[in-house]
């Protein structure tokens, strides 16, 4: 089952949002986190961690790197359940939906360590913006959405 827009809203939204709504799989990136480890304290409050929630026709999958391991959890909820809304109500910031992109072609091994930001960028694919911190990724993803929503007049009114 793909995500369906409410009646009368099928044609609304940016090209990127329409493509994401029609994709067989959708990705939301969720930001939040407290400084439960000393090395997280320099990061911006509320943006010390990020993870991804993926929706497909079978339901939801949450992919989250946690202290030295990768947690992949299949949520026992139908695909129509509003998991991003649940995270928003819990006080987290959610950006999406995005359609996963093509794999990124690499000529050299990655120099940066694998982090929560790197994992979210990998899930977004080759079109993911470069970022090192969760707040940097948040800003660039929001900016990408905002750039798509600009209205441009191409013809003068009669």
Given pLDDT bands bounded at 50, 70 and 90, which one contains residue 154?
Answer: very low
The half-sphere exposure of 105 on its side-chain side, counting CA atoms within 13 A, is 0
Q: Are 77 and 60 in contact (CB under 8 A)?
A: yes
pTM beyond cutoff 0.85: no
pLDDT of amino acid 51: 93
Report residue 40's pLDDT band, with 50, 70 and 90 as the boundaries.
low
Domain boundaries, the chain: 15-103+112-148
Calculate mean pLDDT across residues 53-82.
89
Q: What angle, rounded to 10 degrees, do the helices at 134-148 and 15-22 form?
A: 110
Instruction: Determine if the peptide bond prior to 73 is cis (ω within 30°).
Output: no
Please state the rounded mean pLDDT for residues 127-144. 87
Least confident span in 28-37, 49-58, 99-108: 99-108
- The percentage of residues in the chain with a pLDDT greater than 70, rounded to a whole number, is 65
């Amino acid at each position: 089952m793909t995500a369906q827009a409410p009646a009368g809203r099928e044609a609304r939204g940016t090209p990127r949002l329409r493509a994401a709504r029609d994709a067989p799989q959708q990705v939301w990136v969720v930001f939040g986190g407290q400084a439960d480890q000393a090395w997280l304290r320099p990061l911006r409050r509320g943006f010390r961690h990020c993870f991804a929630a993926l929706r497909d026709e079978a339901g939801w999958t949450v992919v989250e790197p946690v202290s030295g391991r990768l947690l992949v959890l299949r949520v026992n909820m139908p695909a129509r359940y509003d998991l991003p809304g649940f995270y928003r109500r819990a006080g987290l910031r959610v950006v999406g939906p995005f359609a996963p992109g093509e794999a990124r072609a690499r000529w050299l091994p990655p120099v940066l360590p694998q982090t929560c930001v790197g994992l979210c960028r990998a899930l977004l694919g080759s079109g993911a913006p470069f970022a090192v911190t969760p707040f940097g990724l948040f800003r660039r993803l929001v900016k990408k959405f905002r750039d798509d929503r600009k209205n441009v007049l191409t013809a003068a009114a009669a």
